[in-house]
Amino acid sequence: MNKILAVDKDIYFHKQRIEELAKYNITALRVDTMHEAITQLIRGDKFFFIVINEDTIIDFMEQLPIMRDITNILIVIFTNNYTIEKRLRAMSFGADLYEPHNAYISDNFLEVLELLKKQKRWAQQPFEPLPLLGYGDIILSPPRRSVYVKGIEVSLTKMEFDILEYLMLNHGIILTHTQILEKIWGDEYMETSRDILWNAVKRLREKLDIFQGSSNYIESVREVGYCFISK
């Protein structure tokens, strides 16, 4: 059975969607946020297409380019607040279809089926998804040098980003202070750089902890170094 990925907080509407999809032998996985959807894609889950309900996922635009970077499957968006300006913006960020909700969900689905016929041709084109690192609440995009925590982009300095990327690439492995210093500063680092590293990791933790009580992913190993812990 084919499966779609639905980014939609409206459970009642989703039940209607499931009933309609069942007619075509299609099921659906519903998630509440773009972060959850991107995490599903990073894990390698396969979907027929992605549908986003803009009326319940109002901040989807910021993460739409990330979603497009990691998949070439159809991304469709339906809304009750359609404007041509929003449509053009969504399409420029990677959406394949941006349309108002029809009175009958079946009409919207027929639009998607028609576009899928064309999309099959697009899917035949070579596509190499951009590498993303995703663990727990954190998604890091090396090519874009961007970091998201629970779907919210976090601004990092070059040093902070490089440290986080190195730790995430070696998640679960203890990296010594010397290994990190050589990676970030090269062979010319000085012993005083340890204080700079300590302060950089301190700031990095504070920035990643944008939600009070969120887990600390960077664990200190006394007198040894640091380790990124998968959540």
In the chain, where are the structural domains located? Answer: 2-123, 133-228
End-to-end CA distance of the chain: 31
Reported as type and span, the H/E element at residue 27 is: strand 26-31
Distance between CA atoms of 66 and 70, rounded to whole angstroms?
Answer: 7
DSSP state of 127: -
Band of pLDDT at residue 58, cut at 50, 70 and 90: confident
Over the chain, what is the mean pLDDT?
A: 85
What is the SS3 assignment for 135?
strand
Distance between CA atoms of 215 and 205, rounded to whole angstroms?
Answer: 10
The structure's pTM equals 0.75
Structure confidence by residue, pLDDT tens digits, 170-190: 999 999 998 998 888 876 666
The dihedrals phi and psi of 158, each to the nearest 5 degrees, come to: -60, -45
Residue 38 CA from chain centroid, whole number: 4
Higher model confidence: residue 33 or residue 21?
Answer: 33
Q: Which ranges in the chain belong to alpha helices (H)? A: 11-22, 34-42, 64-70, 84-93, 105-123, 158-169, 177-185, 193-208
CATH architecture type of domain 2-123: 3-Layer(aba) Sandwich (3.40)
For the domain covering 133-228, report its CATH number: 1.10.10.10
The dihedrals phi and psi of 214, each to the nearest 5 degrees, come to: -70, 155
Structure confidence by residue, pLDDT tens digits, 119-144: 665 555 565 667 888 888 888 988 88
